[in-house]
Every structure is written in structure tokens, then in C-alpha cells.
């Protein structure tokens, strides 16, 4: 559905084309387009002249002589088409205004959801469809922001509140997703959980997004075009909308898509954290740091524990996954065959691009498995060696980063018969993680096992 920027673009396109044009006749091909009396509609508009076009929210107001106002809502795919030749009607045409100079204005609507309603200058703002509209974001200021605070204070997801035209009018699915992404607010966050600063940020970011979209002529998405042969350019600047599976430009996490009231909603789970998902504990760190030891200790304490490496092994055993990896690596990959695994590893070492493609395929599958476990269980712990590389930080209320000095690390690897790994050791100094993440807890494992377990226990109990 066209939103505020698209409707503003339509207004700017048609106003100079129809201004001072006088209606000589009207043909209506789809009666349900007209929501006022059809006979009155035709009779009252005959011989009237268009004066100007205004807009509020997603509504267009075509002002005419004799104090008339034609209210138009484009809905899903409605569009105006100015005609200067004989091709007045096409298959999707619902109505045509013929002008005395031989030109015309057609309203085309493939899905037939658009509406027109004829009113007057003194009455149209009091019609229920108009009167119930909330503020446009551009009109929100210090004098009325308290009204917005109150209207957002509901136990409904903020995405749905942004789509509620009685609160802020003009924002639809595209610009709601873009605004929340820019504001780093998860679409599932309840309005009642937001503070005034959050709401201020949402309003200001919606203004930024809408202004930019208007300057670029709106978004041409799917089958909507603001005019014949005219495309908006904002879709080329979209940050998150419609980018499910692509990587967030801020943090490289895969964009997720969910449905709220059947409306597709795209967001970055790492930038727009859903705090209800932050239930699990994550364990990570360099090889030989003691991750598996920590996981086993937490299992003994009664936690439900999972190894991401083992979960990945389970995925690799799936035939459809082996087939996909075979296509990426361009050879028949059979996970149960050690030689095949070694050859796949060799290919990926020699060609990092192919390695990235395999990871980009596997990580989302692992992510879905982990999320399903988190959603359905309490007291869950995951050992995830590549937690930060896979951008899984958003799942965890606590992330234990286990570090060791090099001597202890070498000792641990030798005890596990990993002497071959010593040439590729990554110690604490080059283990990358976001030091600003408040959920990260550094646990040193340079002393005794008892000391290590005591530190884990101490940090589990911390709020």
C-alpha cells in the first residue's frame, strides 16, 4: 500500500496536470470505488474545475469549485493516469474524468480497493474517516508529544502501534520497519515498555525516513508506481525492509522476517534485540580455553546444555544440506566420508569466498535450531565457538568468554590430543568480541579447575 511519501509524490505529480481543468463528463466502470451516492457524485462534479490537491496521511484531497472536495484513498494499487490521447480506458481503469480541453484523468486500480468520496470544504474534515486520523509525524512537537506518549502506552507491539493510523498517520509497513531499524527497537517490543526517550527517537527517525523518501519520490515496491512511467527511488535506499536473509549493514547479522497480524516485518535481531529471547547462557572463547569443561559443569548443575558444534554435525548429516554444500563447493560432499570432509576443508581454506558461502548457509539453520530450543525451554546453555562470528549475541542474557594464557591453552590441547592445532592457536589477545556488550562476562581459566568452577558459579548468580 502506498504510504505518506508515495501519496505525497502522487499529489505533486497530478496537481499541475489537473489544475484549472474542468470536468465535462465522468465514466465509472467500478461502482464500489465511489463511497458516496453515485448519482450525486456525477451530477455535482459535472462542469466543476480542479483548483488544487492536498494530502493528509495516506489520503488525497482534490479541491474543486463550488466548495467541493473529492477524498481519495489509493489503498493497495490505486493510481491516477493523466491522458492526452485516445487511450483513456485500460483493463484496470475504474473511473475516468474527461476534461473540456480533450484530456482526462483516469483512476486505474487492479485490485479494486481504492475509494473516492465526495464531500465539501466545510464538512470533509469532520468525516469519521478523516477525523479519526492521528498526527502526521511532521506535526508532532513539544506541544502535543504527550498525546503520543499516552497513545503508545499500550500492551501491543510497537510495530502494530506504528501502523495504527489513529496514532501517527501516514506510516505503513515499509516506513514502520525502516523507522524501528533506525531506532534500534525490536518490532515486538510492547508500547508500554517504551520510555519517552524511545518514543521521541521513533518520532524523529520517522520524520527523517519520510523526508528522505519524499525527496526520492517514494518507494516503487511490487506493482505500485506513483505515475505512469514514473518510479520512486527510495527502495534503493531501504535499510531493512524486504531484506530478509541479507546482512545488516551495521553488524552483519542476518535480517529476520516475522509476521505481525499477517504483516511481514523485517528487523535485525542483533541491533533490535528482543529481550524476551535473551534467556540462555552462551559459552565461547578460543580453542583449548575450557569451553567444553564449563558446559559439562553447568550440565551437572542442572542446566540444559547444547554444543553448537554437535548441532552443526547433525545438520551436516542431513542429505539436503550435503546436496547444497556440494553445489557450493562443486564436488560431491559426503559428510560421513572422512576423505570428503578433508577435501571440503581444503577447498574452503584455499577459497575463503566458498567458506563464507557455506557459513552463510549453515549459520541460519543453526540459528533456527537454537532459537527453537530457547523459546521452548528455560535454563539453557550453549557452547558456541563462533558465537560472535555468527552474530548470535542477541540470544543470550549472559555470554561467558573464557580466556587462558598460552601455556594453559597448549596444556589443554595436548591433554586432548590436539597437538596438530598448536600452529593455529588463537589466544585471548586475538579473540574478537564486542567489549561494549554488557552481557559479556570474561572468565579466566588460568588456575585450578576448582577456581574455574568457582568463577563460573559466581557469575551465574550475578544479576
Same domain, 295 and 439: yes
- Domain end point (choices 131, 161, 179): 131
pLDDT of residue 63: 98
Per-residue pLDDT 10s for the chain (463 aa) are: 789 999 999 999 999 999 999 999 999 999 999 999 999 999 999 999 999 999 999 999 999 999 999 999 999 889 999 999 878 999 999 999 999 999 999 999 999 999 999 999 999 999 999 999 999 999 999 999 999 999 999 999 999 999 999 999 999 999 999 999 999 999 999 999 999 999 999 999 999 999 999 988 765 544 444 444 445 566 677 899 989 989 999 988 999 999 998 889 999 999 999 988 889 999 999 888 999 999 999 999 999 999 999 999 999 999 999 999 999 999 999 999 999 999 999 999 999 999 999 999 999 999 999 999 999 999 999 999 999 989 999 999 999 999 988 888 888 788 766 555 555 554 444 466 666 678 899 999 999 999 999 999 999 987 7
Q: How many domains does the chain have?
A: 3
Give a yes or no: residue 406 inside a domain: yes
Domain of 291, CATH number, reads: 3.40.50.300
Q: Could you count the other beta carbons within 10 Å of the beta carbon of residue 183?
A: 22
Same domain, 292 and 383: yes
Same domain, 420 and 294: yes
Query: Residue 179 carries which DSSP code?
Result: H
Q: Are 185 and 240 in contact (CB under 8 A)?
A: no
Is 3 among the catalytic positions?
yes
Same domain, 75 and 156: no
Residue 38, helix vs strand vs coil: helix
Across 39-129, where does the E strand assignment appear? 50-56, 59-64, 68-73, 79-83, 93-99, 104-108, 115-120
Is 454 among the catalytic positions?
no
Same domain, 119 and 26: yes
Q: Could you count the other beta carbons within 10 Å of the beta carbon of residue 202?
A: 26
Is 2 among the catalytic positions?
yes
Is 263 among the catalytic positions?
yes
pLDDT of residue 413: 82
pLDDT of residue 277: 85
Domain range spanning residue 442?
A: 278-303+379-460
Query: Residue 269 carries which DSSP code?
Result: T
> What residues are paired with 250 via a beta bridge?
none
Which member of 3, 6, 136, 367 is catalytic?
Answer: 3
Same domain, 230 and 150: yes
Give a yes or no: residue 349 inside a domain: no
Which member of 2, 5, 226, 286 is catalytic?
Answer: 2
Which member of 42, 112, 263, 341 is catalytic?
Answer: 263
Which member of 11, 21, 55, 58 is catalytic?
Answer: 58
pLDDT of residue 405: 87
- Domain end point (choices 79, 96, 131): 131
251 CB-contact burial (10 Å; exposed 0-12 / middle 13-18 / buried 19+) = middle
What is the spatial distance between Cα 136 and Cα 138, in angstroms, rounded to a whole number? Answer: 5
Q: Could you count the other beta carbons within 10 Å of the beta carbon of residue 194?
A: 20
The pTM of this model reads 0.82
Amino acid at each position: 500500500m502506498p504510504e505518506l511519501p508515495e501519496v505525497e509524490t502522487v499529489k505533486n505529480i497530478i496537481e499541475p496536470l489537473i489544475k484549472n481543468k474542468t470536468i465535462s463528463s465522468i465514466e465509472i466502470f467500478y461502482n464500489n470505488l465511489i463511497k458516496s451516492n453515485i448519482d450525486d457524485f456525477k451530477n455535482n462534479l459535472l462542469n466543476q474545475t480542479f483548483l488544487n490537491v492536498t494530502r493528509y496521511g495516506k489520503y488525497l484531497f482534490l479541491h474543486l469549485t463550488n466548495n467541493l472536495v473529492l477524498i481519495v484513498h489509493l489503498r493497495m494499487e490505486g493510481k491516477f493516469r493523466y491522458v492526452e490521447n485516445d487511450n483513456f480506458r485500460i483493463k484496470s481503469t475504474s473511473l475516468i474524468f474527461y476534461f473540456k480541453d480533450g484530456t482526462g484523468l483516469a483512476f486505474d486500480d487492479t485490485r479494486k480497493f481504492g475509494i473516492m468520496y465526495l464531500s465539501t470544504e466545510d464538512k470533509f474534515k469532520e468525516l469519521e474517516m478523516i477525523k479519526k486520523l492521528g498526527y502526521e509525524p511532521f506535526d508532532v512537537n513539544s506541544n502535543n508529544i504527550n498525546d503520543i506518549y499516552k497513545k503508545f502506552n499500550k500492551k501491543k507491539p510497537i510495530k502494530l502501534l506504528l501502523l495504527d493510523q489513529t496514532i501517527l498517520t501516514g506510516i505503513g509497513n515499509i516506513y514502520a520497519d525502516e523507522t524501528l531499524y533506525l531506532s534500534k527497537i525490536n518490532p515486538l517490543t510492547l508500547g508500554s515498555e517504551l520510555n519517552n526517550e524511545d518514543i521521541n527517537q521513533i518520532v524523529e527517525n520517522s520524520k527523517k525516513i519520510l523526508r528522505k523518501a519524499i525527496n526520492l519520490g517514494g518507494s516503487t515496491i511490487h506493482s505500485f508506481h506513483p505515475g505512469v512511467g514514473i518510479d520512486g527511488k527510495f527502495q534503493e535506499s531501504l535499510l531493512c525492509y524486504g531484506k530478509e536473509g541479507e546482512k545488516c549493514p551495521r553488524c552483519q547479522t542476518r535480517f529476520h522476517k516475522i509476521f505481525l497480524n499477517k504483516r511481514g516485518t523485517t528487523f535485525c535481531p542483533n541491533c533490535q534485540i528482543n529481550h524476551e529471547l535473551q534467556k540462555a547462557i552462551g559459552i565461547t572463547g578460543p580453542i583449548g580455553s575450557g569451553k567444553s569443561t564449563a558446559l559439562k559443569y553447568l550440565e551437572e548443575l542442572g542446566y540444559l546444555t547444547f554444543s553448537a558444534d554437535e548441532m552443526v554435525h547433525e545438520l551436516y548429516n542431513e542429505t539436503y544440506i550435503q546436496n547444497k554444500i556440494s553445489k557450493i563447493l562443486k564436488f560431491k560432499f559426503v559428510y560421513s566420508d572422512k576423505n570428503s570432509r578433508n577435501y571440503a576443508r581444503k577447498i574452503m581454506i584455499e577459497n575463503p569466498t566458498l567458506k563464507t558461502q557455506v557459513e552463510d548457509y549453515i549459520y541460519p539453520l543453526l540459528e533456527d535450531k537454537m532459537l527453537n530450543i530457547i523459546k521452548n525451554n528455560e535454563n539453557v546453555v550453549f557452547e558456541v565457538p563462533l558465537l560472535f562470528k555468527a552474530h548470535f549475541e542477541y540470544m543470550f542474557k549472559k555470554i561467558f568468554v573464557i580466556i587462558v594464557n598460552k601455556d594453559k591453552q597448549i596444556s589443554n590441547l595436548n591433554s586432548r590430543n590436539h597437538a596438530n592445532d598448536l600452529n593455529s592457536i588463537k589466544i585471548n589477545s586475538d579473540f574478537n568480541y564486542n567489549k561494549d556488550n554488557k552481557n559479556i562476562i570474561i572468565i579466566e581459566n588460568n588456575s585450578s579447575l576448582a577456581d574455574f568452577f568457582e568463577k563460573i558459579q559466581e557469575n551465574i548468580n550475578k544479576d
